[in-house]
Structure 1
Amino acid sequence: MRSTYPTWFYLPAGVVYGVFFLVPTVAAFYFSLTRWSLFEIEFIGLENFVTFFKEPMLLKSFANTFIFAIVTSGLKVVIGFLLALFLTSRIIARGFLRSVIFFPVLVSTIGVGVTFEVLLDPFDGLVNTALSGIGVQGPGWLTDPNLALLSVALVDVWKGLGLATLIYIAGIVAIPAEYLEAARVDGANASQVLRHVIIPLARPATASVITLSLIGGLRSFDLIWAMTGGGPGFASEVVASAIFKEYQAGFYGLSTAGNVVLFLVVAIIVFPLYRWLNRKEVQQ
């Protein structure tokens, strides 16, 4: 008879997972079907979801959320991969440069948001002041509806780029040297080695970067809230900030329903994408 002794080692992790994930998730699904406050709960079925999808800002916030997630994920993949290639080559002060690239990841997101809100001020900000010094009139980075979301997205890329680069560095370093040497012996040049060896074998790193960046982009709230508050108007409004505004207004059941919708959207997008990115066959 097989011993159940090793199974007990899973118990602490299972308890933590249940208490901090399963219980809150089930509770959120329940409270999304109610009109609740600190003192009373009234079951109202799907009314919160119907109201949530009738909100005028919802369509705009969903569009902004997807734009933000795609832009930030795409830039982190491309720039992170290029930086990883550079930081795994034979360069001087490679360790120092890796630390510099990773440093923004360690900084508080709210701190980054407040700092860049000051730097990007259209009148007194350092960025526009520097541009005016060379005769260029800087735009309203956070006040122009056409630029606000993109400006926040670029700041998010700056902050999260270090993690993407670190993952790519780990993926590139893990490639067996024999593969690179064999490619060079066969006469492959640098671009061919990159295309046929490094990029395919760095696929797990790419999958991790895309997945983490996409989840972070779809759930983004703190940086956007610190820099624009969802404005001007609804120009940089995302689903998470729209949910928070409902909570501020005292519509707790409605905001909980919004959280459930966001959870389902992230799950529906990320899980199939992650499985596709991690399939065993490497397409050539």
Structure 2
Amino acid sequence: MKMIIHPLYFFSILILAVSGCSSDENTTEPQNETPLAAETMLNVSYGSSPQQAYDIYLPEGRTAEKTKVLLLVHGGGWTSGDKADMTATVTLLEGTHPNHAIVNINYVLAALPNTPAFPNQFLDLKAAIDKLTNERETLQIKPEFGMIGVSAGAHLSLMYDFVYDSTDQVKFVADIVGPSDFTDPFYVNDPQFQLALNFLVDASQYPNGTNLAEAISPAKQVSASSSPALLFYGTVDPLVPLSNGESLDTALTQNNIEHIFSVYEGGHGNDWSEADNQDLQDKISTYINTYLVID
């Protein structure tokens, strides 16, 4: 029930306050709160599976109003790999962007006979981001994200942004050799492609008649609401063809999405030159400072 209070009540309170306080008493010094110390939390669970866990690195002096989050997603062909593979990236980002929180995530790996990758791994990212968002006051973070993915992790990051990020929490994606177009002849003409597609995709989670290769291809899911993106591909990658980068570049251009498409001499990233790796780091750093700036 709404309480109705007579205006004279407020007037009398005002008179008492003015008469009872001197001007010195009204000028109190603000209390300086001690900044939060840096904190690392390992293997934080975000689901029922032991693989649904992430490490979070919280910076000193963080606040829920300013501390944005870098989310790292490892590769491994959707069937292997671990967040430990991104440890060097965590260390690098802690040095170059010490005021950002960093989350390094694991997801449930695909395995025979009944653990497909898609859409489960996309939904794992959603579950982790939802948990971080719900705990923003406890963690003292601002739930705006820059996603940095490698190989399969880049594919997952792109798909999350293009399809699942309905509230625009992702502000950019860095795609390092991520598969982006499974309708590419490079994949379709592989005799094992259909078998792999059947293994990786839970068809029951998609409407009947869905072209599954298109449904899990980021280049086919780009829209005007997609986030800015960095694309990094090799000229002779035996796993992800340069044509995948070109397809994604074209789709982003057609939808007027800000992006940078970088092509380096070499294969799947492990043989790129020191100069190219430095260029990659510099471009990611620029995107962090542009799209995930600390206010």
With the length of structure 2 as denominator, give the TM-score of the two structures.
0.22
More helix by share: 1
Structure with larger RCO (C-alpha < 8 A, sep 6+):
1
More strand by share: 2
With the length of structure 1 as denominator, give the TM-score of the two structures.
0.22
